[in-house]
Structure 1
Amino acid sequence: MERVRRYIHADYAYKMGLSGKNVTIAVMDTGIVPHPDLKDRIVLFRDFCQNRIGLYDDNGHGTHIAGILAGNGMQSILNKKGNYMGIAPKARLISLKVLDAKGNGSTQNMLEAVDYLLRIRERFHIRILNISVGMLPDAGKKEQLALLEAVERLWDAGIVVVAAAGNNGPKENTVTVPGISRKIVTVGSCDDTEQVTLKNGLESGYSGSGPTACCIVKPEILAPGTNIISCNKNMKGYTVKSGTSMAAPVVSGSIALLTELHPDFTPQEIKLRLYERAYPRGRQIGKKCWGIVHVENLIREGKW
C-alpha cells in the first residue's frame, strides 16, 4: 500500500488533513472480519448469502478490499512490517456480503443488496459503493440488464458506484457487468503488465478492456492493482492479491478523500473531476481510458 499511495500521489491529501472522515463507503463482496485496522469503523454488516449475524468473511476477498479502502495500517506499524494503510483510513464501512466462500454469488443476492442500500442510504449517509465483483461472461442478458439497471438506480440516488473492469483482458470488449454501465465509474489496473503471480490465473494485460457494445470508453480510470498488500481474513496480518478488484477500491478511497473535502459534490461532478484530472492521460501510456487516478490533482483547488 505504500507503493500505491505514492503512485497515486495521495500524500498531498494527508498533508491537508484529509482521511475520509465522516464518509461512508458500502462494499459488496465476500464479507468482512473485525481486523484491527478496520474494526472500529465497520458500522453495518448484512449477509445476503446465508443470513448470518455477526461479521465474517469466509473467502478473504472482501476484507482485503476493505483494507485497501479504509485500513488504518496500525497493525503493520506496531509490528514494524511497514505501513499498509488504506487510501481513506478514517472512512466508515458498510459490508454487504453477496459472495460465498468460493467467491460465487447470484444476481438475486446483488439485487437484494441494492434494494437494501437504497433503503438505508440516507440513514447511514452512504456516498460511495465499491463493487469489486463482475458477472461471468456467459451470464444471461436478462440478469445483466437487471444488475445494470440496479446500479444505475443507486447512481441516480446520489451514490457514486465504482466497479472493477474484470480480469478478462487484454482483448477488447472484456469489461464485466456491471462495469459496462454508461453511468458508473469503471476501474482497470494500470500495472497489469508487471510480473503477476499466476496462481490466481492472471496473465500480463489481465485488466478488462473496452470499448463496450455501446462503444463507450471503459474502463474510464486506472489505478494500481497488482501485488497489493492488505488485510487478511485471519485478522493476524496481511496478504497479497492482484486484479482489478484491488484497483477499484484505490479509486473509491480517492473519491472518499474528495468527498470529505467537497461533501456537496454529486456523482456526476465527481466523475467529471476524475476525467479532467487523471494523469498521466490514457494516450500518454498507450491505454484507451481517461488515465490514472491522481489524488493531488483531484483535490487541488485552482490551477493544478
Structure 2
Amino acid sequence: MLVRGLLAGLAVIAALSAPAADTTIGHTDAITANDPGYAGQWGVQHARVNDAWSAVRGDARVTIAIVDTGVTKLPDFGTRVLPGHDFVNNDDDASDDNGHGTMAAGVAAAGGNNRLGVAGICWFCQILPVKVLDATGAGNYDNFAAGIRYAADHGATIISASFGGNEDTQGLRDAVDYATGKGALVIAAAGNKGTTQPHFPAAIPAALAVGGVDEKGARYSWSNYGASWVDLTAPGCNPAQQRNGAIGQYCGTSSATPFVAGVAGLLAATDPAPSASAIRTALTTGARNGQVDAVGALAALPADGDTTGPAVAFGALAATVRGLVTVGAAAVDQHGVTHLEMYAAGRLIAVDRAAPYSFTWQSPLSGLIALELRAYDRAGNMTTARRTVRADNVAPAVTVYPNGRKVTARATDASGVARLELLVNGKVAGSYAGYLRQFTIPAGARTVAVRAYDKAGNLRVATVRR
C-alpha cells in the first residue's frame, strides 16, 4: 500500500519569526542556548526542556532513530549521524532528498549551545537515519514496518516515526511489537487531518501516539486527537534546519513526534538507564494536562539504583558579609532534588524544598564562618558545597585631628576601609577612597564630622570639635 507521509502538516518559512514564550513557567536553573534559532523555540520553554537541560542533555549511548525521508548530515549534528539504510532505493545511503527527516532529526537531536542552527532536545544523542519515504513524502507499509524493525535491530533506544496512514495492518503491528520487544520505544505521529480517526502506527497500543499543541497549550486544529488512542501532546511548530542549513518553521504532528522523542532521549540518558516502558510511563505520568513536560517526566522516572548525587552550588555571595544575609543556591539532579539544607559554623540554619533555593542567615559579630549546602535527591544521595565568608558587623575605628581649616581623618578596620567622607552641616562635602585623608573645611561650616565605611558596609561617624 502506498501512502503519503505527514508532509501536508509541514510548513517551511524562510524568515523565521519568534513566537512569544510561555511566561507562566518559572525557569530557576534554566539553560538559555546560544543557537541562532533558539529565540523562536517556544516549545523548549513550554515543555520545560531548558530546565531539564540543567540536569541532563543526552548521552552518546542513546540512539534516536529518525524513520522518515532520510537525514542530511548538517554541522549541527556533528559526528552523531550513524550509518543508516534507505528502504526506498534499497541501499545504505539514507541521505534526505525531501527535507522532512532532516528537520525531524534537528528537533530531536540537533546540538545545543554550539552557536549553530537550533538547539535540539537531546544534544548528545546519536541519530540513526532510516529512509522509508521518498522525495515526495510517499511510502508504503512494507517499508514502514521494515524501517521500524531495522531501527530496533541497530540499537535504537527511541524510534521517531513521523509517517503513517489510516489503515491498520498486522505487519505494522508486528513491527512495533518487535521493536518494543527489543527494548525500543516507538513514538509516532497522530496525523494532521484534525479528526479523531485513528492513524497508524500511532494508534497501535505499543506505540506512543503524539498530537500537536500551540504555545498556549491548545490543540492545533490540524492535529488528530482522541483520548482513546492519542497518548501525549507536544509543541507542534518548532524551528529546525532544512537540508541547506536554513532555519524554517517545522509544523505538524511530524514535528511534535521528534520533540517527544528528544525528551525520551533525555530520560534514556539518565543513570541507571531506564527501560523503554519506564520512559513511556514517565512521559505520560509526568505530563501536564496531557502535554509533555521534561521536568515532570524526569521526576517520574524510578530512582532505584541511582547513586549519583545532585549538583549544588552557592549563588553570588560576597566574601565579607554583615547583618541579615540572603544566601542563594542552585541544585539539579537527573531524578529530582528533594531539598537543600544550609549550615553555618556546623549549625543547621534552614531547609528549602523548592527552587528557587534561598536561605536567610543572621551573621555573627565578626570572624571567619564556614557555610555548607547539602543537597538531597529522591534516592537519598547527598552532595555538599562549601564556602567560607568573613562576618563583619563591627564599624571601623575613626580618629580625627582638627587643625584650623584642616582636619585629618584616619580609620582602621579588620576587613579594610572603603572610604572616608567629610560631612559639613549634615551634607557630604568631600569623599576619599582610602583610610587616611586630610580634608579642608569650607567657610561657613557650623557642624563638621567624618564618616568612615568599611568594606562590609559598616559605618561610624566621628564629630570634629573646633
Please state how far the C-alpha of 1:57 moved relative to its aligned partner: 0.9
Say if 1:11 and 1:208 are closer, same or farther in 2 by CA, change over 3 A.
Answer: same
Matching residue of 1:229: 239
Q: Which of 105, 110, 116 does residue 144 from structure 2 map onto? A: 110
Shift of 1:20: 3.9
> Which ranges of structure 2 fall in alignment gaps of 5 or more residues?
1-37, 300-334, 339-353, 355-466
Contact 1:44–1:93 under 8 Å retained in 2: no
Matches within 5 A, 1:76-87: 77=115, 84-87=118-121
Cα 1:192–1:206 shift into 2, 3 Å: farther
Moved segments of 4+, more than 6 Å: 192-195
Aligned mates of 1:149, 1:99 — CA distance in 2: 20
Query: What root-mean-square deviation, in Å, do the aligned CA atoms of Structure 1 and Structure 2 show?
Result: 2.4
Correspondence for 1:36 among 75, 80, 89: 75
Which structure 2 residues correspond to residues 74-223 of structure 1 after superposition, within 5 A? Answer: 77=115, 84-121=118-155, 126-135=156-165, 137=166, 139=167, 144-169=169-194, 171-172=195-196, 174-191=197-214, 205-211=221-227, 217-223=228-234
Query: With CA pairs under 8 Å and 6+ residues apart, which has the higher RCO, 1 or 2?
Result: 1
Is the Cα–Cα contact under 8 Å of residues 153 and 182 in structure 2 kept in the other structure?
no
How far, CA to CA, are the matches of 1:54 and 1:267 in structure 2?
28
Query: Normalized against structure 2, the TM-score is what?
Result: 0.53
Contact residue 164 and residue 247 of structure 1 kept, 8 A: yes
Structure 1 letter corresponding to 2:202: G
What is the rounded CA distance, in whole Å, between the counterparts of 1:275 and 1:109 in structure 2?
29
Paired with 2:72 and 2:163, the residues of 1 have a C-alpha distance of 18
CA shift for structure 1 position 13: 2.1
**Equivalent residue for 2:287, pick from 278, 284, 300:** 278
CA positional deviation for 1:237: 2.2
Shift, 1:163, TM fit: 0.4
CA distance in 1: counterparts of 2:72 and 2:265, whole angstroms: 21
Instruction: Return the alpha-carbon distance in structure 2 between the equivalents of residues 210 and 257 of structure 1.
Output: 27
Q: Which amino acid aligns with 1:273?
A: A
CA contact (8 A) 2:148 2:159 kept: no
1:52: Cα distance to partner? 4.3
TM-score w.r.t. the length of structure 1 is 0.79
In 1, distance between residues paired with 2:148 and 2:259? Answer: 22
Distance 1:242 1:192 in 2: 12
Other-structure match for 1:15: 54
Task: Find out whether 1:267 has 2:315 as its counterpart.
Answer: no
* Partner SS, residue 261 of structure 1: coil
* Equivalent residue runs for 1:47-62 within 5 Å: 47-62=86-101
Higher helix share: 1
Following superposition, the deviation at residue 116 of structure 1 comes to 2.5
Q: Residue by residue, what CA displacement relative to the aligned partner does 1:115-150 show, whole Å, maximum 9, x if unpaired? A: 3234333xxxx2110001111x3x4x5xx2211221
The 8 Å contact of residues 193 and 204 in structure 1, kept in 2 or not, is answered as no
In structure 2, what is the Cα distance between the partners aligned to 1:118 and 1:24? 10
Report the Cα offset of residue 263 of structure 1. Answer: 4.8
Aligned residue type for 1:209 = Y
**Against the structure 1 CA distance between its residues 193 and 167, is the aligned structure 2 distance closer, same or farther, given a 3 Å change threshold?**
farther
Residue 246 (structure 1) aligned with residue 255 (structure 2): yes
Q: 2:210 & 2:88 partners in 1: Cα distance?
A: 26
The separation in 1 between residues aligned to 2:186 and 2:222, in whole angstroms, is 22
Identity between Structure 1 and Structure 2 (%)? 29
Aligned counterpart, 1:66: 105
Cα distance change, pair 148–10 in 1 and its aligned pair in 2 (3 A): same
State how many pairs are aligned.
264
Distance 1:6 1:194, change over 3 A: closer
Unaligned 5+ runs, structure 1: 196-202, 212-216, 282-290
> Whole-Å Cα distance in 2 between the matches of residues 112 and 25 of structure 1?
16
Task: Measure, in 1, the Cα distance between the counterparts of 2:246 and 2:271.
Answer: 33
